Structure 1
Amino acid sequence: MSKSILVTGGARSGKSAFAEGLVEAMGPQAVYVATAEAQDAEMAARIEAHRARRGDGWTTREAPLDLVGALDATDGAPRLVDCLTLWLSNLIFAERDWEVEGRALVEAVPRQSAPVVFVTNEVGSGIVPENALARAYRDAAGQLNQMIAAAVDDVYLTVSGIPVRVKPNDNAI
């Protein structure tokens, strides 16, 4: 099984459940690196639903901003990072340079000795957002996803709960 994997797809496409299964197959002592923060009741309910689905076999490490630090601190166990697009929005709202942070994450991927699976949202497949902040976020998410996709061993796209492997592409030109 690959050392580093990116799982992408639309909202409610089955990304997280698929990624959880990948990490569970990688060995015991799985670590869930959570980038979400429960800032309202809806997000708190989503976080709780994810926790309930995973069960007690997981250790949770919260990393709304310091994702590289969390990966380095938990190396040794298979990790699931859920999700990069929430991490990106946290960085943007904290007025941190997401490109610098993204490059640091890209540099951290190959130095991990234990497997890591990243979950992200594919946000650029819809309409062009109406406002400048939403367009900037969409563009940043697309760029970050490309950076991480280039750094990992495998990429999966989930569509209606079905994972489709899109990297490595054995038919590359």
Structure 2
Amino acid sequence: MGKSILITGGARSGKSTHAEQTTLALGPRAIYIATAEAHDPEMAERIARHQARRGAEWRTISAPVELSDALDASDGEAPRLVDCLTLWLSNLMLADLDWDGATDALVRTIEAQRAPVVIVTNEVGAGIVPENALARRFRDAAGLVNQRVARMCDEVHLCVAGYPIKVKP
């Protein structure tokens, strides 16, 4: 199995920057597997900022739902960075797809990878209880997805105020 690293933290905690640096430390070229979709101008701006930050050493694959397929198709080419699991989960839930089964498949896929995989996710359970049912279902599902992927990964890093802390060696 290739090395797998889960990087988690809150909004603007430095997760993506740390993940990019970690991925490039695993090889001179890297693949960025993007789960985000630009459904509004603000999200398009965020995506553009992420793309501008990355250099020519990155190739991008868009995988808003078919994350396991993207990992399998790119395995053996270069280290991969998945950014991010919580957007992937949102895409699955909003499309009324089986996020639980997709998570099982993702965990099996990560376990079978030969090339390294760095995965970004958001830590969403540390705040207040959301006021609506969909947000509560998402928060609970994100916590479960993060736990299942973290168990599979070799390392887990938590980013706080731009500083990564290794929580699973």
Q: TM-score, normalised by structure 1?
A: 0.95
Structure 1 letter corresponding to 2:15: K
Runs of 4+ with >6 A deviation? none
The correspondence of residues 146-165 of structure 1 with structure 2, limited to 5 A, is: 146-165=147-166
- Percent identical among aligned pairs is 63
Match of 1:103 in 2: 104
1:13-52 correspondence to structure 2 within 5 Å: 13-52=13-52
Deviation at 1:142, TM superposition (A): 0.2
* Residue type of the alignment partner of 1:66: E
Helix, strand or coil at the partner of 2:38: coil
Which structure 2 residue ranges, 5 or more long, are not aligned?
none
1:134 aligns with 2:135: yes
Give me the whole-angstrom Cα distance separating, in 2, the residues matched to 1:111 and 1:125. Answer: 31
Partner secondary structure for residue 86 of structure 1: helix
Deviation at 1:96?
A: 0.5
1:29 Cα offset (Å): 2.4
Distance 2:36 2:59 in 1: 15
CA distance in 2, matches of 1:20, 1:113: 19
Q: Which residue of 2 aligns with 1:71?
A: 71
The one-letter code sitting in structure 1 at the alignment partner of 2:54 is: R
- Please report the TM-score for the alignment, with normalisation by the length of structure 2: 0.97
Aligned-partner residue type, residue 22 of structure 2 = L
Q: Secondary structure at the match of 1:87?
A: helix
- For 1:59 and 1:145, locate their aligned partners in 2 and report how far apart those are by CA, in whole Å: 25
| Counterpart Cα distance in 2 of 1:111 and 1:28 | 22
Report deviation, 1:20: 0.2
State the partner residue of 1:122.
123
Q: Secondary structure at the match of 1:6?
A: strand
CA distance in 2 between counterparts of 1:154 and 1:115 reads: 12
Distance in 2, Cα, partners of 1:37 & 1:109:
23
- The count of corresponding residues between Structure 1 and Structure 2 is 167
Deviation at 1:50, TM superposition (A): 0.4
Aligned to 1:11: 11
CA drift at 1:158: 0.1
Deviation string 1:65-92 (CA, Å, 9 cap, x unpaired) is 0000000001111000000000000000
Q: CA deviation at 1:35?
A: 0.0
CA RMSD of aligned residues (A): 0.8
Which residue number in structure 2 is paired with residue 61 of structure 1? 61
